[in-house]
Structure 1
Amino acid sequence: MNAATGLRTGLRDYAFRSVQSLVVWAMLVGVLYIAWRPALWLPHLWMLFGVTFLANVLQPSYKPFEGSRTADDNGTAAQILWTVALAQCAALLELLYFKPAITLDAVSWAAFALMVGGLALRTWAVYTLGRYFTWNVEVQSDQPVIESGPYRFVRHPSYTGALITYVFVPVFLHSWIAAIAGLIALPAAFARRIRHEERLLRDTLPGYSSYIDRTGALFPKLP
């Protein structure tokens, strides 16, 4: 693939992900317009749109609907996708049901900062892995053990970033029931993914077992 072809492919992918994100949010706005029109004036909604739009656009391998399931994945990608989707829908439904008079208080700003920080960490991890980053669990034939960027500190920084972002969305919206449910369901989904992925990586990548000994899975190991 030459540079021009690569550029066209990259721009086409960015355009597709942008349109995909806009269509989903247009549907959400339509639902809110019918169910609870004042929600359209909540700054929380548009700040959340900004985060999710960037999450969809900035990550080159973020294609959960591409249908490229691999035999090694064991359904972990679908589990994470549906857990995240249900957790976020639960937060929005709770907001619609209780219709709280939420404001951008200290809790909202702190949650928003953590969401943005989680997205930044995940994006850094994705670009550090480059072509070795895939949505489904997959090990490429020439794949090395990556220990640069955020991978110097943790083995799965992309999961750490995603987990932080999605756990704090309900907190940002003051959807406390969804926040508690997400705090249970989301770590469970990512834990299953990590267990399955690391079994494959230990069996496939030379040096990965020693990498496990030196680093934590989601958070840095304490000295």
Structure 2
Amino acid sequence: MTPTTSKVIFVALAIGWYLIRYKYARRSRRARVVRSARGPLETTLLLISLSGLGLVPLVYVAIGIPHFADRSFYPSLAWLGSLIAIAALGMFHLTHRALGRNWSISLDVRENHELVTEGVYRRVRHPMYSAFWLWAIAQALLLPNWVAGFAGLIGFGILYFGRVAKEERMMLETFRDSYRVYMERTGRIFPSIR
């Protein structure tokens, strides 16, 4: 594995993410939103996450900026990052497939919204967040730059911690006791972590 190959794998991760999301974004637009938490804070959190997981690392891959933050490249870490990237895309795909028309980029409840508790949701309430945590870890391992590599962990971390409690409140308000029972038997982003 070389630094160039590692960067190509990161770009493939970003392209894979886009291809998976595009298909489901088109489908979900057909289902009317009946309740939303969209607003300036939500938009800001999404932009911060996009910057950390996409803009900063892609600028680094394209033109090598910021040079001052370059660090040593270790092929073994890049190979591990590649495996984690594959796991991230797999989880991302399974999550979108399970949610179907219930999926939304923002905190939305759609018409005829269903509580999905099967498939990848059987043991984890927020596998989409799990997929993004995996992406951020893969990014840190694939890109030998302190800023670009770790921007995903910081950018997505800000979105996650700024949003997950609000999302769970919204689900409790929508699905009430069904969601409460679901919370008791599942982990938030990993099966054993509540």
- Shared fold, TM over 0.5: yes
Does 2:160 align with 1:195?
A: no
CA contact (8 A) 1:123 1:158 kept: no
Deviations 1:62-87 (A, max 9, x none): 58xx9x99742344354134323245
Over aligned residues, Cα RMSD in angstroms?
A: 3.1
Does 2:111 align with 1:141?
A: yes
User: Counterpart of 1:187 in structure 2: which amino acid?
Assistant: G
User: Counterpart of 1:210 in structure 2: which amino acid?
Assistant: V
| Equivalence for 2:45 | 79
Does 2:78 align with 1:108?
A: yes
By how many angstroms is 1:102 displaced? 6.2
Q: 1:108 to 1:209 in 2, by over 3 A?
A: same
Does 2:4 align with 1:51?
A: no
Q: 1:107 to 1:149 in 2, by over 3 A?
A: same
Does 2:32 align with 1:61?
A: no
> Which secondary structure state, in structure 2, belongs to the residue aligned with residue 42 of structure 1?
helix
With a CA cutoff of 8 Å and minimum separation of 6, indicate the structure with the bigger relative contact order.
Answer: 2
User: Counterpart of 1:204 in structure 2: which amino acid?
Assistant: T
The alignment's TM-score, normalised by the length of structure 1, stands at 0.68
CA contact (8 A) 2:45 2:162 kept: no
Structure 2 segments unaligned to the other structure (5+ residues): none
The alignment's TM-score, normalised by the length of structure 2, stands at 0.77
| Equivalence for 2:137 | 167
By how many angstroms is 1:119 displaced? 1.5
Q: 1:122 to 1:72 in 2, by over 3 A?
A: same
| Equivalence for 1:42 | 4
> Which secondary structure state, in structure 2, belongs to the residue aligned with residue 143 of structure 1?
coil
Q: Which moved more, 1:192-201 or 1:148-157?
A: 192-201
Aligned length: 180
> Whole-Å Cα distance in 1 between the matches of residues 110 and 183 of structure 2?
19
Larger radius of gyration: 1
Q: 1:146 to 1:101 in 2, by over 3 A?
A: closer
| Equivalence for 1:36 | none
> Which secondary structure state, in structure 1, belongs to the residue aligned with residue 24 of structure 2?
coil
Q: Which moved more, 1:90-99 or 1:138-147?
A: 90-99
Give identity over the alignment, percent. Answer: 19
| Equivalence for 2:187 | 216
